[in-house]
Structure 1
Amino acid sequence: MTIDDTTPRRWLRRAGAPRIEYGADYNPEQWPREVWAEDVRAMQAAGVTIVSLAIFSWARIQPRPEVYDFGWLDEVIELLHAGGIAVDLATATASPPPWLTARHPEILPVDKHGNTIWPGGRQHWRPTSPVFRAHALRLVRALATRYGKHPAVVAWHVNNELGCHNVYDYSDDAATAFRTWLRDRYVTLDGLNEAWGTDFWSQRYSDWDQIIPPRQAATHPNPTQQLDFKRFSSDALKDHLIAERDLLRELSPDVPVTTNFMVMGEMKTMNYADWASEVDFVSNDHYVLPGPQARDELSFSANLTGNIAGGQPWFLMEHSTSAVNWQPINVAKKPGELHRDALTHVAHGADAVCFFQWRQSKAGAEKYHSAMLPHAGEDSDLFRDVAALGGRLGDLGALAGSARVPADVAILFDWESWWVAEHDSHPTDRLRYRQEALDWYTALLNLGIRADVVPVGGAWDTYRMVIAPVLHVVPGALAERLTAYAGHGHLVTTYFSGIVDENDQIWLGGHPGALRDLLGIRIEEFGPLLDGEVAELDDGTTGTLWTDRIDVTDPAVRVLARYKTGEQAERAAITRRAVGAGSAAYVSTRLGRDGLTVALPALLDGAGVTSELAPELRGRVELARRGEHRFLINRTAEPIDLGADGTLEPRGVVILHP
């Protein structure tokens, strides 16, 4: 799949000068009417310009199958409109009401063990259920008919966090839809049997109806069946998105449509690069995950979201003002982090900054999740910080609509390699695809180097250097594209890359398969490391997780580092082969962020990549660029002297512009 980065995107339907939008999810149905006017007044005080409304309101809007109650929603929308606050109106289909699941329990998902997922939480519906689809579209039609022309409604918000809890459904509905999906992909059973390698373990199918989702099996399910079920499950949710979107476009063509992605952490089940062209503008939810790379992970995710959006502005639909409620220990944000987190998203292309949620709930599962207006009310440090951020964003109107300035380095990101590299029955189950990519990103930040995180199907051919960590799935067309790139640019890839084709079948002849000739090396056997086992390299770094028994097959290959210890002692560990005006390099072990910080300079020097930051700022400051604006983001908890540009406060952000 190749992403079309040139597709023009629509933004919010509203008049006036461009601005960075600011707001939150708003759930007035949780509060009595007398609170609503107070909410609008406090929103104005905080600088709020937009709210997402009615996300979990299906049971309120349609309390019984034949009854709709729009009175309360009419009132809220009018209050917001009178207060100058725009509405991103949700289709409210995220969680079906109790009457629907009681009447139609066949819409409930089924897990791989055959257990029904019952109501009581949220997203208790099958993406492939025709019954659910009919009821959901009936609700969408009612909302679009009533509000599609209302001047307050500036965007449609399809469902909410599609697939967060219901991406993998193993029901009979899913089995039927899976077979249809497979027939479209393979056309014939012979084609499917060949792609799945079904002669292994006597799995050959003689009728389409014999095929089921990869439910709980006695041992490891067919790996290509697993891969195709992941593809199908992402596509099934995308199909629901398209169904709602098409109806909205039919009934209210002037209102753009979006849905909130979840580009963050280990949320890997939806292929968002494949979804991006189905919305008028990309939206994302992101929450900081604790750990030593928490801030870098936020930057990585915002960066990837900006490139999923093709470098065009996107909408940060949810993040948190302070603590969340769903981690084992939920720690409040430190001073400066609320602003730094929000502005880092803006630095990577967000033209809207919104939180979950506006008013902190007093009941329900998320009552301890922070909000713009906390339990303590307006007389609180958190609300004052929220209002200060609103003022700051209000001053950034000149930034709105500006494009991100491409870096010299791209890190390729591939959902299918993420899925397949972490399958069972592999050389190690310790490999974590996203962590490897994040480590490269952190190492580049440590060296003061800007990098873009780009979907593998995106536009990366013009970058000076392309890093492809654990690019495990390499179809023939991608191998050709990488080879052509290396003739003028500088490719870097790693262990367990180039191993399988699009059907998760091994490229024969020795590893790294599809990239073997390009890299000028050959590997007969992998050398995964046991827990606690390490391999020292002669450049002073230490490898964990993985090693490779490399044979250099091309005299054009230069060995940049060798193993000093372990089974591969004296063998090549890091190589680079000259290819025309470019090169192709290979890193055969997991060096981690610290080891990569040591090893990267030799690769960067060979590609002619240098830092745009002054030496004293490298590693301490992240640089991001949008249009003519330069964002300097403090990665530390200490103040940093910027010379003529002033002082960068701890965890602070300085925005420089002409």
Structure 2
Amino acid sequence: MLYGGDYNPEQWPEEVWAEDAALMKEAGVTMITVGVFSWAKLQPGPDTWDFGWLDRLLDLLHGQGIAVDLATATASPPAWLVRARPEVLPVRSDGVRLEFGSRQHYCPSSPVYREAAVTLARKIAERYRDHPALALWHIHNEYGDHVTECFCAESAADFRRWLRGRYTDLDALNAAWGTAFWSQRYGSWDEIEPPRDAPGPVNPTQTLDWRRFCSDALLACYQGEKDMLDEVSPGVPVTTNFMSMFKALDYWKWASREDFVSDDAYPDPHDPEAHITAAMNYDLMRSLKGGRPWLLMEQAPSAVSWRPVNVPKRPGLHRLWSLQTVARGADGVMYFQWRASRAGAEKFHSALLPHGGTTSRGWAETVRFGAELAKLGPVAGSRTEADVAIVLSWDSWWALEQEDHPSTRLELRALVASWYRELWKRNIAVDFVPPEADFGRYKAVLAPNLYMLRSETAERLTRFVADGGHLAVGFFSGIVDEHDHIHLGGYPAPLREALGVVVDEFWPVPDDASVRVEGLGSATTWSEWLDVTTAEPVASYAEGPLAGRPAITRNVHGEGIGWYLSCHLPSALGRILDEAGVGPVHATPEGVEATRRGDHLFLLNHTDTVSRVSGLSGIDLLSGATVRGELELPPLGAAVLTPASETR
């Protein structure tokens, strides 16, 4: 198990480094990330390089037995570059060019930025590829965190090149974009611009393609550095740190270009359900590479510095949430950052070594958890098996949240989270899968929303049901194709065979209202005028214009069952999961999370009360105690049980 965090030695006098390295050793740190924002120090001028300080740092860390996750330092271009070539700075949709003075101030399509970034990364790789401390390459930092798009002339030209690659000719583009509407037809490629601010709604397919392009433009920046690292430093794994379930970048596509997935996660200690959202994000990270272990690259030891109110983690919460990442597939727990900064925008962000030094509460927790994490070595490399999959499509996400829909209240991340919460409460293991996944591995496939649905995906989902699978589909799904054109023939046209229903009309629920469903409670956000063809209603609307009409349906198709939820009522998933034969990892009291990696059972008590879990057998890797029958977990307590034979 890796343990450590970001280290920014350039912020400190060199005499502090030796103290830091010794304290890292004391805390049980095994790996440190360095160089993330060091471009200006490594390259003080266009033709000037300074690697001496980094040489001494890597030698120092290696002397303490600490491995290095070496960053390419390309996330924050230096002042000399942007002053010499101001066109590298990004431009907003209203034409305003953003200035130097923060970070990630670059146009993703800028050839000047890309060339400078690859040149810097190559210099670093050539110098340190054989250094014994080098364990990982860390490209850039949190792509898309501040700048996900740029509307400058260079980006416009790059967008046109991307469109040529996608459509080949203008007739195909005009057909895909539906430019017969509002006289938007293009007669030449040069007439096409990014979807900048306009008098009214912008063409939705143009906007959708822009979202696709922006993800690909940033991916091209990453790929340029990755190709170089693979050439200069083959065999050293390469990653870039994701930001959990992040809308702007298609992480399925990105993860396929990484050697392993790493993530930055910052659950809010003030949010009573933060641990559920975090679990969802971690399951996604595990799923992005088909279940392979991943690395938590950043989290906060306590409070962050960028929320309106930055609540710290109370005693025990840092430990519990860190163990949760391991429970859901992480083979390492890293932090931002090692030593708390004295200056800059993040000077109030917590660190493994706080401003108060080694006498602080935070330092005591740093040392204590480092020792505890080291006990979980047997867990490393193990995987999680799941019988349930949630379909997640970035294309559909981007298309769903456009303007001029029946309701602008539909947010995919919130819809997915509401379904995921029902699985978490039942301790049911779940994978996330892309639309092109092999669904046959699962007993149940859940699609909280698939507004955009390709015909081939619908065919495979229908076949999954016919072959004996259980498919549950949420409202406003199967509406458009990959060009954001309506599937004709009645919603959800591509899935009507599997679901046995026809949606006659959408009936979104206003913000201050709800609609009661018999036996299940009240639904918010959405409802539909639903007709059944081959399906049977299992719950009906109990009031309003839809009273007596089907709300949730069950359709036998072939050997399986297709369920449709025409309203926002995730609690209805209980029956669906039961019929699919999906059971919990382990039965626990409310608020106690149970997950399994290989033969290792994690039990995490997210409540403020003592909880007792029964039916257990094994040895707790954390305490060393043998458990037979019942285990008592204190508030925020945890246990990791492994079969007795595995500890010998």
The TM-score range, normalised by the shorter chain, is over 0.9
More displaced stretch, 625-634 vs 296-305: 625-634
Match of 1:653 in 2: 638
Post-superposition offset of 1:651: 2.0
The one-letter code sitting in structure 2 at the alignment partner of 1:651 is L
What is the CA–CA distance in structure 2 between the aligned matches of 1:292 and 1:428, rounded to whole Å? 28
Counterpart of 1:633 (choices 604, 608, 627) is 604
Q: Is the 8 A contact 2:517 2:539 kept in 1?
A: yes
3-state SS in 2 of match to 1:201 = helix
Q: Does 1:32 align with 2:13?
A: yes
Partners of 1:103 and 1:567 lie apart in 2 by: 65
2:620 corresponding residue in structure 1:
none
1:284 corresponds in structure 2 to 263
Inter-partner Cα distance in structure 2 for 1:502 and 1:413 = 15
Q: Percent identity?
A: 48
Q: Which residue of 1 aligns with 2:545?
A: 567
CA distance in 1, matches of 2:636, 2:205: 45
What residue number does 1:92 align with? 73
Q: Which has the higher contact order (CA 8 A, sep 6+)?
A: 1
Q: Secondary structure at the match of 1:589?
A: coil
Structure 2 distance, partners of 1:447, 1:280, is 33
Q: How does 1:420-431 map to 2 (within 5 A)?
A: 420-431=399-410
Q: Does 1:334 align with 2:305?
A: no
The answer to whether the 8 A contact 2:589-2:612 is kept is: no
Q: Report SS of the residue matched to 2:256.
A: helix
The change in CA–CA distance for 1:645 and 1:47 in structure 2 (over 3 A counts) is farther
Q: 8 Å contact 1:304–1:455 — kept in the other structure?
A: no
**Other-structure match for 2:576:** 603
Distance in 2 of aligned mates of 1:252 and 1:301:
31
Q: Deviations over 1:159-186 (max 9, x none)?
A: 1111111111111111111111111111
Work out the CA distance in 2 between the residues paired with 1:299 and 1:612.
15
For residues 375-386 of structure 1, the aligned pairs below 5 Å read 375-386=355-366
Q: What CA distance in whole angstroms lies between the structure 2 residues aligned with 1:22 and 1:421?
A: 39
SS of equivalent residue, structure 2 residue 440: coil
Report what 2:192 is aligned to.
211
1:441 aligns with 2:412: no
1:619, CA displacement in angstroms? 3.2
Write the letter of the residue equivalent to 1:319: Q
Match of 1:417 in 2: 396
Corresponding residue of 1:622: 593
Letter in 2 for 1:604: L
SS in 2 for 1:546: coil
SS for the counterpart of 1:461 is: helix
Letter in structure 2 aligned against 1:480: E
The within-5 A match list for 1:544-559 is 544-554=524-534, 557-559=535-537
Mapping for residues 289-300 of structure 1, pairs under 5 Å: 289=268, 290-300=270-280
Distance in 1, matches of 2:412 and 2:355, equals 39
Give 2:234's aligned residue: 253
Rate the CA distance shift 1:383–1:456 in 2: closer, same or farther, 3 A. Answer: farther
Q: Is residue 475 of structure 2 the alignment partner of residue 507 of structure 1?
A: no
Quote how far apart the aligned CAs of 1:464 are. 0.7
Provide Cα deviations, 1:286-326, integer angstroms capped at 9, x if missing partner.
11035342110000000110001210111111011010011
**TM-score of the aligned structures, taking structure 2 as reference length:** 0.95
Match of 1:470 in 2: 449
Q: Which one-letter code corresponds to 1:577 in the other structure?
A: N
Structure 2 counterpart SS, 1:492: strand
Task: For residue 420 of structure 1, report the CA deviation from its aligned partner.
Answer: 1.1
Question: In 1, distance between residues paired with 2:301 and 2:180?
Answer: 54
Q: Match for 2:124: what amino acid?
A: L
Q: Quote the Cα distance in structure 1 between the aligned partners of 2:160 and 2:355.
A: 50
Query: Which aligned pairs between 1:69-80 and structure 2 lie closer than 5 A?
Result: 69-80=50-61
Residue matched to 2:624: none
Q: What amino acid is aligned across from residue 168 of structure 1 in structure 2?
A: E
Q: Distance in 2 between matches of 1:612 and 1:107?
A: 51
1:581 aligns with 2:559: yes
Deviation at 1:401, TM superposition (A): 1.2
Shift of 1:613: 2.5
User: Where does residue 7 of structure 1 map in the other structure?
Assistant: none
Separation in structure 2 between the aligned mates of residue 566 and residue 149 of structure 1, nearest angstrom: 71
Aligned amino acid, residue 538 of structure 2: L
1:528 and 2:501 correspond: no
- Residue 197 in structure 1 maps to residue 170 in structure 2: no
Following superposition, the deviation at residue 590 of structure 1 comes to 1.2
Give the one of 116, 119, 129 matched to 2:110: 129
Which residue of structure 1 lines up, in the alignment, with residue 625 of structure 2? none
Q: Which moved more, 1:502-511 or 1:634-643?
A: 634-643
Amino acid at match of 1:650: P
Q: 1:447 touches 1:618 (CA, 8 Å); kept in 2? A: no
Q: Distance in 1 between matches of 2:264 and 2:440?
A: 29
Residues of 1 paired with 2:435 and 2:342: CA distance? 44
**Mapping 1:8-87, distance limit 5 Å:** 20-87=1-68
Displacement, 1:194?
Answer: 0.6
5+ residue gaps, structure 2, are 615-628, 644-648
What letter matches 1:231 in structure 2? R
Q: Secondary structure at the match of 1:514?
A: helix
Structure 2 contact 585–595 (Cα < 8 Å) conserved: no
Letter in 1 for 2:329: G
User: Residue 366 of structure 1 is aligned with which of 341, 346, 370?
Assistant: 346
Give the whole-Å Cα distance in 1 for the aligned partners of 2:363 and 2:537.
56
Aligned CA distance change for structure 1 residues 489 and 277 (closer, same or farther; 3 Å): same
Q: Secondary structure at the match of 1:128?
A: coil
SS at match of 1:278: coil
Q: Please say if residues 512 and 523 of structure 1, whose CA atoms lie closer than 8 Å, have aligned partners that are also in contact.
A: yes
Contact between 1:107 and 1:131, CA under 8 Å: does it hold in 2? yes
- C-alpha displacement at 1:38, in angstroms? 0.5
* 1:635 counterpart letter in structure 2: H
**Displacement, 1:479?**
0.5
SS at match of 2:102: coil
The Cα of 1:279 is off from its aligned counterpart by 1.2
- Following superposition, the deviation at residue 517 of structure 1 comes to 2.6
SS at match of 2:359: coil
CA 1:637–1:459 in structure 2 vs 1: closer, same or farther (change >3 Å)? farther
Inter-partner Cα distance in structure 2 for 1:527 and 1:60? 58
1:270 aligns with 2:241: no
Q: 1:375 to 1:645 in 2, by over 3 A?
A: farther
CA drift of 1:620 comes to: 2.4
Q: 1:618 Cα shift?
A: 4.6
C-alpha contact (below 8 Å) 1:55/1:159 kept by paired residues? yes
Pick aligned residue for 1:187 from 145, 158, 168: 168
User: Cα deviations across residues 432-488 of structure 1 (Å, max 9, x unaligned)?
Assistant: 111111111111222333323333333432111111001111001100111011111
Instruction: Assess if the C-alpha contact under 8 Å between 1:110 and 1:116 holds in 2.
Output: yes
Structure 1 residues 400 and 71 mapped into 2: Cα distance closer, same or farther (>3 Å)? same
CA contact (8 A) 2:142 2:243 kept: yes
Cα-to-partner distance string for 1:218-260 (whole Å, 9 max, x where unaligned): 1111101111000011011111111001111111112111111
One-letter amino acid matched to 1:607: A
Q: Is the contact made by 1:325 and 1:366 (CA closer than 8 Å) also made in structure 2?
A: yes
What is the alpha-carbon distance in structure 2 between the residues aligned to residue 641 and residue 63 of structure 1?
59
| Partner Cα separation in structure 2 for residue 542 and residue 447 of structure 1 | 21
Residue-by-residue CA offset, 1:485-519 (whole Å, 9 max, x unaligned): 11111000111111111111100111122212321
Q: Show structure 1 runs of 5+ residues with no match.
A: 1-19
Matches of 1:312 and 1:564, distance apart in 2: 46
Runs of 4+ in 1 over 6 A off after TM superposition: none
The equivalent position to 1:323 in structure 2, one of 295, 303, 307, is 303
Matched, 1:642 2:642: no
